[in-house]
Amino acid sequence: MSFFDNLKDIYRKVSEVESAVYNGKQDYLEIYERNLQLEKEIEERTRELNIANKRMLTLQHIWDMMNASRPLQSVLETIVNSIQGELGYLHCNIIKKCEDEKGIYLTVLAQSNDVSIKRVDKLIKGPIQARKLVYDETSVYAKAAYEKKIMLTPDIGGTLKSVAPDVPDEIIEEVVEGSPSKSIITVPLFTRNSHYGWFNVFSSRKELTSGETDFLTIFAQQIEMAITIAGLFEEVKAQAVTDGLTGLYNRRYFEEYLKKEVTRAMRQKQAFSVIGLDLDHLKQINDKYGHAYGDLAIKTVAEVLKKNARSIDTAARMGGEEFNVILPGVDSSGAMIAAERIRKALEEEKLDTIGQITSSIGVATFLEHSDNIEDILELTDQAMYSSKRNGRNRVTLAKPVSETSWQEIAVNTFMDILSKHNIPLAKDVSEELKNKLQNPKDDVPKEALYTVADMLTQTYNPLHHNGVMKSKVLLAVSLAKRFDLPKDDIDRLRIAMLLYDIGNLMLPASLLQKTTPLTEEERNHIKEHPIIAAREILKPISYIQDIIPIIEHHHENWDGTGYPAKIAREKIPMTSQIILIVDAYFALTEPRTYRAELTPKQAVEVIKQDAGKKWNSALVQEFISLIDHDV
């Protein structure tokens, strides 16, 4: 091979090497460029993943707050601060759509705590959250709500002007020029199928990506859920303390609030008053016009109380036709003025079909009539029933505990039972008894009480004699004095003597008047009458709660063989023991359908036989001494 041929061959081989190197370089460049692109894509995906992760954490944070039963305001404030801080928005707020007698308006319910809002508040000379904002039908808010979709607007100044038209244009311009925000993203909020308001985001960007829209939609749903849960919680909470018919507080809330008021009054040495109100003739309204009109009358009382109460007063429906009002810081003279105002306002109400309605009202004052709140409630009830007994549609001021007689308490108790029809009694009989209590002969209420008690007894025991109840009470009081019982115990005994057998009214007359021997089942049924009297008839009457244990245990025997609790000896109240022995004596000396009456001496002999068993021997001894003296 010639020299030139060798040279050509070398050149060819060099060219092949150069070509291979060049091709390899191109491959390397392509690989490098691919790596750069891949790194860029990884970086972008990582950034998107971080954003998604932040969004998920924010949503989880909201969910955790909702499950923690935090107050709605606290939840919403945390929400707007979370999205503002974690997701880079400049400012966030939640605006609520409200309505009053003047129309629709807007209010900022929650907003993020940031530099932007502080600057705006300073420029408009006051916090925007404290303003009553205008609802403009042409604004982005109205459009977003109408179309039920997320809206973006770059017109920040126009949006602010639409809700606060009183802010000067130059201030609006200064707000916009000094703000880094480029747009407002408005998300309408709906709860339970009704429009609630808007969630607003102030963004540094003028565009809204599809991913951002999806996230804000989900985020808004979480806000809606938080609002719905809070609303339901408030409804349940309100139902627990309010009366469904009237919207007033219920007995449960009244009693809890009363405890707080007592604490405050004791600490500040400041009196407060309680007004007790009872709607007159509710049963007649129900019977004549129907329960719908009875409900109307009750709701009317509630509306009158709302209109005539101060903002610090607390009105409650205690049940049925009874209402109470607490007047903080008001003495008896002020409470009487307030009560008279309520009475007059109710009297002036004219209802369809029913016409005029009235009420009987009682007033008592804590620290003035008593420093015991139970006494105050009892005195209020007693005063209220005094109003009812003395003609209704009037206000009565309670007497201090020391001035309240046992006759007044007993009369009020009978009036309460007869007026509320807690016992099965013919209407004409009930009205006759109430008339006797309201209009006692010679103005001696205790004589009327004896008459009413005798008449009630005759409804289930036709063989009962008039005048026996008076003899029973006098004998019981004489016996109590032999044991030096305090005056208060003796007064309670007087009332208990009038009421102890009232449970018999709830038993079948055929059972009580049966001429043949009773079966075991029938005897057990009769034994229920102390419990019936105590728990079904008397327990709802607040001011005689200390009478109930006396009546409940008046069939307990000294040796523990009695009923209903089978307690024995000193565990039995002395007043209950006295009722038992007096009742036994008069039962023996009265005729029964299954036997003739015994003479007083025969009755005493029967009682002697059970001394130390059925009754205390000392009690028997004193009892016989009294009977022998009378005989």
How far apart (Å, rounded) are the C-alpha atoms in residues 461 and 418?
Answer: 19
Q: Does the N-terminal peptide bond of residue 564 adopt cis geometry, omega within 30 degrees of 0?
A: yes
Catalytic machinery residues:
321
How far apart (Å, rounded) are the C-alpha atoms in residues 423 and 417?
Answer: 7
405 closest CA partner among 386, 392, 418: 386
SS (H, E, C) 255-297: HHHHHHHHHHHHHHCCCEEEEEEEECCHHHHHHHHCHHHHHHH
Q: What is the DSSP letter of 528?
A: T
Q: Is 516 helix (H, G, I), strand (E, B) or coil?
A: coil
How far apart (Å, rounded) are the C-alpha atoms in residues 512 and 229?
Answer: 58
Encoded amino acid at 552, one letter: E
Give the pairing of strands 359-366 and 394-397: parallel
405 closest CA partner among 327, 335, 315, 488: 488
**Residue 559 is encoded by which pair of tokens?**
């040796």
Write the Ramachandran bin of 431: left for phi over 0, alpha for psi from -120 to 50, otherwise beta.
alpha
Q: Token match 């008047």: residue?
A: 513
Return contacts of 550-555, CB within 8 angstroms, 24+ apart: 550/492, 550/493, 550/496, 550/500, 550/575, 550/576, 550/579, 551/496, 551/499, 551/500, 551/576, 551/579, 552/576, 554/496, 554/500, 554/530, 554/579, 554/580, 554/583, 555/527, 555/530, 555/580
CB proximity list for 354: less than 8 A, separation 6 or greater? 285, 289, 293, 296, 297
Burial class (CB in 10 A: 0-12, 13-18, 19+), 62: buried
Q: Contact at 8 Å (CB) between 552 and 564?
A: yes
98 closest CA partner among 148, 133, 143: 133
How far apart (Å, rounded) are the C-alpha atoms in residues 128 and 117?
Answer: 8
Q: Token match 């609790």: residue?
A: 565
CB proximity list for 158: less than 8 A, separation 6 or greater? none
How far apart (Å, rounded) are the C-alpha atoms in residues 58 and 76?
Answer: 13
Backbone angles phi, psi at 91, to 5 degrees: -160, 145
How far apart (Å, rounded) are the C-alpha atoms in residues 523 and 555?
Answer: 13
CA angle 420, 424, 427 (to 5 degrees): 70
